[in-house]
Amino acid sequence: MINWRLWIGIVLVSFLIFISLFGPQIAPYDKDYMEPSGYYYNSEDDFGMKAAPFPPSKDHLFGTDQWGYDILTLLLHGAKYTVFFGMLTAFIRIFIGGLLGMINGLRGKPKSHTGGFGLLGSIPAFLIIYFVMIGITVNSSLSVIELIIIQFILMTLIGVPGVYSAVYSKTLELRKNLYISASYSLGAGVFRIAKNHVMPHLKETLMVMFVKEIILVLSLLGQLGIFNIFLGGTILRLGGPEVYISMTSDWAGLIGQWRSFIYNYQWILFYPLLAFILVIFAFYMLSRGIELKKKSSFQKYPHI
């Protein structure tokens, strides 16, 4: 039986990684290019004035925003921040939380041994990041890289407790097996047992957790974007209606930046929203595919 969810997920994620790597090279315009507004005259019957935002056309497949920036170009430039930030943050969460969970689980230490994790995990992640970032991300004196690093550290620390708790519980169950007790008796250390006996059993579980953590990170970026906390910094323009601009053009930031266009010029909001839904869907399908593969493997080899 073909695991079509897994294949769809692999294809979509591969596509997202490709555009994240080569997006700026394949973008139709430079990131700073603005389609000029003004009068045009093609013939006696075709003349008038053109002004941004321009709707989707052969020149601008996804249209432009209110200043004339090409939406497709901005999406291609911002893809790397959205995709790679989500993947890297999720990977570090899994690495730290998984490692600590396996070590403490094999040592048999009580879960309360890391009570700080429980306290941190009980506070909504959005509130922690919002109140830390709101004072430094808008018109910040920090660079884009510095702001990304700060947000990366916060999101990593907030996500570690959940990973730790799940891996700790699974490791405790595996610790009851006789072959692990025999390894202890023969003098094997915790790290050797974790590598040779625990990791083979948790490999697919950690892979599923990794993909789901990516989805959680991206969802959190989307929530923050609605409140103008954009990855890499937010520019606030005054002197009229307040306008918030994403420094990196990450997809969650573009949604937050253009959310006011939900009632008019809908294409400005529609395309970044569609792109963000696509990235969530791609990783969701990948996680479901891995889960089905794991389930089928267990049914075929129940002793694993």
Q: Residue ranges of the alpha helices (H) in 65-198?
A: 71-107, 115-122, 125-137, 144-175, 178-185, 190-193
Q: How does residue 51 score in pLDDT terms, banded at 50, 70 and 90?
A: confident
Given a cut of 70, is residue 268 above it in pLDDT?
A: yes
Contact 141, 127 (CB under 8 A): no
The pTM (predicted TM-score) of the whole model is 0.87
| Residue 32: strand pairing partners | none
- Provide CB contacts within 8 A for 157, sequence distance 6+: 120
Given a cut of 50, is residue 303 above it in pLDDT?
A: no
Q: Which domains does the chain have, with CATH numbers?
A: 5-9+63-300 (1.10.3720.10)
DSSP character string of 180-193? HHHHHHTT--HHHH
Instruction: Provide the pLDDT for residue 296.
Output: 62
**3-state DSSP assignment of residue 1:** coil
Per-residue model confidence as pLDDT tens digits over 218-245: 999 999 999 999 999 999 988 767 899 9
Contact 230, 250 (CB under 8 A): yes
Question: b or e along 199-238 (b: 16 or more beta carbons within 10 Å of the residue's beta carbon)?
Answer: eeebebbbbbbbbbbbbbbbbbbbbbbeebbbbbbbeeee
Find the helix or strand (DSSP H, E) in which 14 lies: helix 4-26
Instruction: Provide the pLDDT for residue 47.
Output: 60
To the nearest 10 degrees (0 to 180), the angle between helices 115-122 and 144-175 is 120
Most confident of 165-179, 217-231, 284-298: 217-231
Contact 50, 42 (CB under 8 A): no
Q: Rounded CA gap, 18 and 20, in Å?
A: 5
Nearest CA to 168 out of 101, 99, 74 is that of 101
* Of the listed ranges 15-19, 164-168, 171-175, the one predicted with least confidence: 171-175
Q: How does residue 200 score in pLDDT terms, banded at 50, 70 and 90?
A: confident
Per-residue model confidence as pLDDT tens digits over 6-35: 999 999 999 999 999 999 999 999 999 998
Instruction: Provide the pLDDT for residue 300.
Output: 45
Find the helix or strand (DSSP H, E) in which 235 lies: strand 234-237
| Residue 164: strand pairing partners | none
Q: How does residue 299 score in pLDDT terms, banded at 50, 70 and 90?
A: very low
Q: Residue ranges of the alpha helices (H) in 176-266?
A: 178-185, 190-193, 199-226, 251-257
Q: What is the dihedral of CA 229, 233, 237, 238, to 10 degrees?
A: 60
* Of the listed ranges 71-75, 172-176, 235-239, the one predicted with least confidence: 172-176
Give the number of other Cβ atoms within 10 Å of residue 266's Cβ.
Answer: 14
Q: 297 versus 260: which is more confidently predicted?
A: 260
Per-residue model confidence as pLDDT tens digits over 117-152: 555 556 788 888 999 999 899 999 999 999 999 999
